[in-house]
Structure 1
């Protein structure tokens, strides 16, 4: 693998990058640099905005001066590129919708949306590799690695800005399907519990309910009862990391096979499900199309494993 050294850069932010997260901004500027490198230089404070350290989720404003430290632009050889291509061709098979402004994918469980934290590349890096002629491809929102379902990618900066405005103003509606442990109370429809990110004693990143955390609200609706579990439709009003999973746990009904926030469900009651993954699926997203200005709803069908799980429970 060959690399090319790049000197320090100081970039002044204008309207083009207004409200963009600093990690996404760096990914765009340093396209050949691994995502793990970007988060590392942010964590170490090597990236500065107005000469100050910032977090990866810092949103840029007009006039900000971003200092990007010396870095390496990595150039992959043909052999590595071919290996990656063979692993990412599946993306063409999971496109739900595409036009000149957006791409909607039905992301499988077990695949990260972007690289970092030991992951070489995720959905967005793979999509860029598949579409090398596209000058702009950015995630509109995120899904947990273990969560499946509809994922939006913007093909234009103006599209990304419009959809981020809709997300910020709560004009985007996301619906999820999830299977939780136990019988969910029919009158428990709204959970408003503040959430905070913490590091456990084992060094693992966790989200916990905490009165000093960020305001978080999730709406739950019972879809179907089974003997030992409940199928739920979930609408997160706010969009914090692991929000649905932690709110379900707080209610006393963790999501089935949630290895981070759930219970040990290896008993015979759940063998019939044939599950080996988190049952959390982003089944639809509704928004205003940035170009046509019309309401649009994109739906993602359940994968074969989740469909078989429900079939087994019903029969």
Structure 2
């Protein structure tokens, strides 16, 4: 552990554990480490400990901050005292070393195939494919960050600057320097980045903008699964939704392409808001219309149709404004074409500008 950035001492009455298992220890967070998520910090600090084990310790309350429980996404603050319980580090036997090397090579190959939208010495921006988690854990062997680290072994620092759902595709920013990570995290805390999503929803959404402002609460689940509901005592959540195109697909009925801009960043925010408004996202297996999802899956449309299309922020070092854009996914284009809609009209990567609602034949100009 880097003793320049954290101070560590053993608990006064701790005892040595079994082989491969450390004693209870305490870590004080300084200014350099402040701002990191609890789960990310512990995973980086405790090399070799599976992330799934870290999550279990957080959920069970064995891993504590200032003597109390904290969620995995808690942002550490300077002066926080972190209690780390004994953790068993797997001992790699010679027979399994070759297997671990094969896994690492496989991860590297997957990481090399991740589409890069932009890169420099400070950040790496990729177009995350759908069905790929941003990090491993909770039943996921590896995610984007593990694949990138395997593909770029020379990189001294690679950390996620933010997150998007596993089922969502699109713009994802990775920091290549700690200073860049802290600067980006500061922008997110100030709600400065402008995040624009595209989604296909069930039903005909009006071709105009509407603000969805429903407070959200995350429900605890024993298996670690995350589910979010609209709740009067929940956290503030604001999503601005604009209809872009309305169309119909045989066997699926009325569908709409919408733009969603989030002013807050709650878990599953867009998915829950649209479902609560009566327009579930197509292919959403948690909050969506299951019967509709099955009918579309039979036609080959099996993904969740939510895409992080663009992200506007400031470069973490120069401060220059950046517009990061991910192309419209092929599955989106295919679904739009099946409804008689030209997908090129809604691909910001093609037009290099925000898209406008379409006046489509048979839509009767409806905007209300």
TM-score, scaled relative to structure 1: 0.91
1:45, 1:204 → 2: CA distance?
17
- Displacement of 1:88: 4.2
1:23 aligns with 2:39: yes
Distance 1:152 1:203, change over 3 A: closer
Partner of residue 101, structure 1 = 122
Q: Are 1:207 and 2:233 an aligned pair?
A: no
SS in 1 for 2:336: helix
State the distance in 2 between where 1:271 and 1:197 align. 28
Deviations 1:119-147 (A, max 9, x none): 12211122122222323211111111111
Which structure dedicates a bigger proportion of its chain to strand? 1
* Largest Rg, 1 or 2: 2
Deviates more, 1:18-27 or 1:195-204: 195-204
Conserved 8 A contact 1:274-1:309: no
Structure-2 residue corresponding to 1:193: 214
Cα deviation 1:42-85 (Å, max 9, x = unaligned)? 11222122232322122222111212222234457133222342
* Alignment root-mean-square deviation, CA: 2.3
* Structure 2 portions without partners, runs of 5+: 1-18, 249-253, 342-368
Which region of structure 1 is more displaced relative to structure 2, 7-16 or 231-240?
A: 7-16
Residue equivalent to 1:166: 187
Q: Which has the higher contact order (CA 8 A, sep 6+)?
A: 1
- Number of residue equivalences: 312
1:177-199, Cα deviation, whole Å (9 max, x unpaired):
10000101335511000011125
- Confirm or deny that 1:137 pairs with 2:158: yes
Q: Which runs of 5+ in 1 are unaligned?
A: none
Query: Does residue 91 of the first structure (1) align with residue 117 of the second (2)?
Result: no
When normalised by structure 2's length, the TM-score is 0.79
Of the three residues 59, 68, 80, the one matched with 2:100 is: 80
Contact 1:179 1:230 in 2 (8 A): yes
Partner of 1:237: 263
Q: Which of 327, 333, 346 does residue 307 from structure 1 map onto?
A: 333
CA deviation map 1:233-253 (0-9, x unaligned): 111110000000011011111
Find out whether 1:222 has 2:243 as its counterpart: yes
